[in-house]
Structures are given as structure tokens and as C-alpha cells.
């Protein structure tokens, strides 16, 4: 059952989305060589607290996790690409950092992620980030009434295939509303023209993630969360919460 939101409910999700976007961009400003992932988590925690927002990540334990998450952001560095648990690791010059944040205000949720380089960027990392952001833009552009869920995934997958990056279809996008993870699952690939028909009032988190490749398998760290490429190549992730409206896609996670 895919929940439809009223325009007023979408505005409440946008309020949460603004806080999430502010948290992500504040973390980006603070991210520098010598700063620890735990310090960045504190930066995001302060943003959420001062906005009266509740973290969707802290204490979260979905079916695949062996322990509750501890942190308000996921901080995935270099060959870690998703679900990075904030720890005492300090950033170094040239790191590729993915930050993911989810928060709710008055029970309405938003979820977004950004990837960026710390200090001096490597060209291949900038290209990977650009590909991931292009895939997110293509997925969002396909999120229009009359299209189907498969059209979002196909648009994302096409960008990844054309760029020759490493892909894995686990952990794609999802419906979002009063809970962070709702139906439907949105794969980051596959064929268009299939799946749920899109209509105004649906809200989705769209979130491509890629590796420089060529690998497509991952390992989970002993912390039970941090997802790392098996061949140690670097990864990037980008995510927005997007409402389907009669006028087209409406991104709710902008500052």
C-alpha cells in the first residue's frame, strides 16, 4: 500500500527536508583533514536539536542490522559507500566522504545524502560524484505522474552503465512519509515501463550509489553497519526526498 500525501502533508515533509539539508551542508563545511567522523555527527546532532527535529537513524535497527545504529548521520569514507557508522576515524586530505541524514519533525520524515571530497580532490572521485549526481537528477526527472517506478530505476541505471561505474542493486530508494522506509522499493537499475504507476501525492527517497568499479560486491565491517566495496574501490551516494506533483517532481530536501 503506497501512501498518498496531501499538499499540506508534503509541506510538513519539506520542513523536515530543510533541516536535513542544513545538517548535511553544515557537516560539509566542517569536514576537513583531522576532523573525526564522531565530531561531524555532533555537528549534525546540534543542527537537528536546535530545529526540534528527531533523528531517524539514531537507534534504528532494520532487519539486516545486528545492532542499532548509533549516530544521526551515516559517514562513509572512500571504499565505504553506505551506512558508515560515525567513529573516531579522522579525515585526511583527499578523502571521499558520503554523508546521509534522516530526520522528522512532528512525525513527518525526510532523508537525503551528499558526497564530496575533503581537501585536495582526486579527478576520478570528482567524476564518480558527478555521475552519481547525474543519476539522481535523471531519476528525479523520471518521477512524474504517468511514469512507473521502473522508469526511475532505468533512468538511474542508464547513467551508471554509460559511465562504466560499478553498481549493485541492493539498497535502492524507497517510499517515505510518516516512516523513513515505506513501500515501494526503488531499484537503482532495471527496465523501464514496469512497476507501480506514479501519481501525485507519492513521496520517494531516490538514492543512486556507485563505485568507481569494476566490482559490484561488498563487505560489512565488524561494526555491523559500514558497507564497503569488496575490491576497495571508492563509492559515492546521492539522495533526495522527492514529491510527485501534477507539475512534476518537487525536491523536499533543499536548504
Residues that bind Mg ion (CB under 5 A): 100, 111, 113, 205, 239
Q: Which is nearer to Mg ion, 95 or 100 (CB)?
A: 100
Task: Give least dist CB 239 to Mg ion, A.
Answer: 5
Q: Which is nearer to Mg ion, 38 or 185 (CB)?
A: 185
Q: Which is nearer to Mg ion, 111 or 250 (CB)?
A: 111
C-alpha cell of 21? 539539508
Task: Give least dist CB 93 to Mg ion, A.
Answer: 26
Q: Which is nearer to Mg ion, 79 or 100 (CB)?
A: 100
Task: Give least dist CB 34 to Mg ion, A.
Answer: 26
Task: Give least dist CB 187 to Mg ion, A.
Answer: 13
Residues 87/37, Cβ–Cβ less than 8 Å = yes
* 3-class state of residue 240 by DSSP: strand
Amino acid at each position: 500500500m503506497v501512501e498518498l500525501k496531501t499538499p499540506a502533508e508534503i509541506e510538513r515533509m519539506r520542513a523536515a527536508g530543510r533541516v536535513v539539508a542544513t545538517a548535511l551542508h553544515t557537516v560539509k563545511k566542517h569536514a576537513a583533514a583531522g576532523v573525526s567522523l564522531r565530531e561531524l555527527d555532533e555537528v549534525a546532532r546540534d543542527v537537528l536539536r536546535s530545529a526540534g527535529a528527531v533523528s531517524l537513524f539514531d537507534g534504528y535497527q532494520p532487519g539486516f542490522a545486528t545492532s542499532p545504529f548509533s549516530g544521526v548521520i551515516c559517514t562513509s569514507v572512500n571504499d565505504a559507500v553506505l551506512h558508515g557508522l560515525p567513529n573516531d576515524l579522522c579525515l585526511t586530505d583527499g578523502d571521499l566522504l558520503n554523508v546521509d541524514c534522516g530526520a522528522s519533525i512532528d512525525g513527518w520524515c525526510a532523508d537525503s545524502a551528499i558526497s564530496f571530497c575533503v581537501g585536495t580532490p582526486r579527478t576520478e572521485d570528482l567524476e564518480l560524484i558527478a555521475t552519481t549526481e547525474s543519476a539522481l537528477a535523471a531519476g528525479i526527472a523520471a518521477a512524474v505522474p504517468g511514469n512507473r517506478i521502473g522508469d526511475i530505476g532505468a533512468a538511474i541505471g542508464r547513467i551508471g552503465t554509460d559511465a562504466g561505474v560499478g553498481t549493485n542493486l541492493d539498497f535502492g530508494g524507497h517510499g517515505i512519509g510518516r516512516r523513513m522506509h515505506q513501500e515501494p522499493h526503488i531499484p537503482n537499475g532495471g527496465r523501464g515501463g514496469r512497476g507501480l504507476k506514479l501519481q501525485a501525492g507519492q513521496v520517494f527517497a531516490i538514492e543512486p550509489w556507485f563505485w568507481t568499479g569494476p566490482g559490484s560486491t561488498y563487505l560489512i565491517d565488524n561494526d555491523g553497519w559500514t558497507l564497503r566495496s569488496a575490491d576497495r574501490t571508492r563509492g559515492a551516494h546521492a539522495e533526495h526526498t522527492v514529491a510527485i506533483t501534477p507539475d512534476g517532481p518537487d525536491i523536499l530536501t533543499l536548504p
